[in-house]
Amino acid sequence: MTENKNEEQTLENETIEESTAEAVFAEEEIPAAEENDGPVEKDELQLAHEKIAELEAKIEEMDNRYLRLQADFDNSRRRAKLDMEAAQKYRVQSIASDLVEALDNFERATKIEAENEQTKSLLSGMEMVYKAITGALAKEGIEPISSVGEEFDPRLHQAVMQVQDENFGSNIVVEEFQKGYLLKDRVIRPAMVKVNE
């Protein structure tokens, strides 16, 4: 009976030791499993962060591209508006350039001295046409450039001769050979002038 008791006691001790050993091994396995799960979760988290950063960079790039396109569109619309305004403002420039040549001929013709009544009436008619043309051009903003007695301006005058005249100051226009014309603020043709040194 004592032997049976000893065997039972031994069996119980072995069972307790086995369960204690299993518990110890189980505790050791749990941290090992957690350690294995940790890096996996960290890798997935890192991949997610990298993906988010990549998408944010793409969004920023697309925003920048959109803003540049919007600015280009605004600039082209502004440029088109300015071009239209300039075209409207200077719409008569090409015809004015041609009419300026005709005005030169009218001016030369009106300087002829009339010898008889028929020539006087013809010159009078030419002067009326000349005044009508200059009046129509003035309505469109085309004006002659004033030259004689003015200081020489290379934007408005074209010097073809230089003289030394004590009656005029230095760099003053002495004589005008051909009238120049302005269309609002744009030079259609510079005045051909003689300038004092």
Q: In the numeric block, which tokens belong to residue 21?
A: 């050993």
Instruction: Give the integer Cα–Cα distance in Å for 175 and 150.
Output: 10
Residue-wise pLDDT tens digits, 124-139: 888 898 899 889 888 8
Residue-wise pLDDT tens digits, 102-120: 888 888 888 888 788 888 8
Instruction: Give the integer Cα–Cα distance in Å for 99 and 194.
Output: 24
Cβ atoms of residues 147 and 180 within 8 Å: yes
- Give the predicted TM-score (pTM) of the model: 0.57
Coil/strand/helix, residue 184: coil
